[in-house]
Amino acid sequence: MKPKFSQFLLNTPMHLFIILIAIIWVFPTVGLLITSFRPSSAVASSGWWTVLMHPFNFSQYTLANYYEVITKIGLGRTFLNTLIITLPACILPIIIASFAAYAFAWMEFWGRRFFFILFVGLLVVPLQMTLIPILRIFNKLGLSGSFFGIWLAHAGYGLPLVIYLMYNYISGLPSEIFESSTIDGATPFQIFKSIVIPLSVPAIASIAIFQFIWVWNDLLVALVYLGGTPNVAPLTVRISALVGSYGQNWELLTAAAFVSMVLPLIIFLSLQRYFVRGILAGSVKG
């Protein structure tokens, strides 16, 4: 019992520190959530923390803020637009990167190392340097202000990192699997479909979380390539416009902000084990 007790005492300061950091991290989110349910008169007269004195007094809460931002202000439509943008922008780079990572890791072809270094080197290119040239190309091709254009933009920006992460994971798979499959007469595509993809599901899921959160929370790329087109505007663009129009209506802004963050929060909290695996997939093999 003594070694366990001493180990507990040694770990207690670290546990307390982690709990403190978690509370500090969650605190603003709690304030955002409470403010989004308060009427405008209460928000103007008192801070959100006063609700904690009587947390079960439901008369101090209202759903009118969410009703207004979703129906009257139009966040329901922009939520759907964001979902339409995010899902293909996650699926497309993962499909391309899976093929590319498998080829770079286990197939022999001319210039394999050069092209891999070229793709990974794109990680250091600032995104802002590409905005104007690509926007000019999109304008000539008629892709700006469309879902297809923003899908291509997000897929292109996400590919270098996704290829790098997938390569680290796939290259760490046991070589015996590929050798035995080749001896049995399996083609490279059959090996990819029947072996590589099933074994890479944890990496694919974790990378999908990375890509989903990045695309969902993106403002710059959407603002440049979609502009102010209302039919395809995502949540981030619409909320940024609300700051100017409803700058004093904190209850509406917090409700809009929480509408935009609720889905990423659900996905992250429910699939956080894959998120940790994604970090490890980019740092170690196996």
Q: What is the pLDDT of residues 84-101, one digit of tens each?
A: 999 999 999 999 999 999
Question: Has domain 73-281 been given CATH number 1.10.287.3510?
Answer: no
Tokens, residue 273: 């084990």
Whole-angstrom Cα Rg for the chain:
24
- The residue with tokens 């909320």 is 239
% of the chain surpassing 90 pLDDT: 17
- pLDDT given for residue 262 in this prediction: 85
Q: Which of 242, 267, 272 is nearest to 257 (CA)?
A: 242
Q: What is the residue extent of each domain of the chain?
A: 2-49+58-66, 73-281
Task: Choose among 211, 207, 199: nearest CA to 276.
Answer: 207
- Average of per-residue pLDDT values in the chain: 83
Confidence of residue 148 (pLDDT cuts 50, 70, 90): very high
CA–CA gap between residue 264 and residue 29 (Å, rounded) = 13
**The two three-digit tokens of residue 35, written as one number:** 């403010």
Helices 272-281 & 250-270, crossing angle to 10 degrees?
70
Distance (Å, rounded) from C-alpha 233 to C-alpha 225?
Answer: 10
Rounded Cα gap, residues 197 and 183, in angstroms: 20
More reliable by pLDDT, 229 or 192:
192
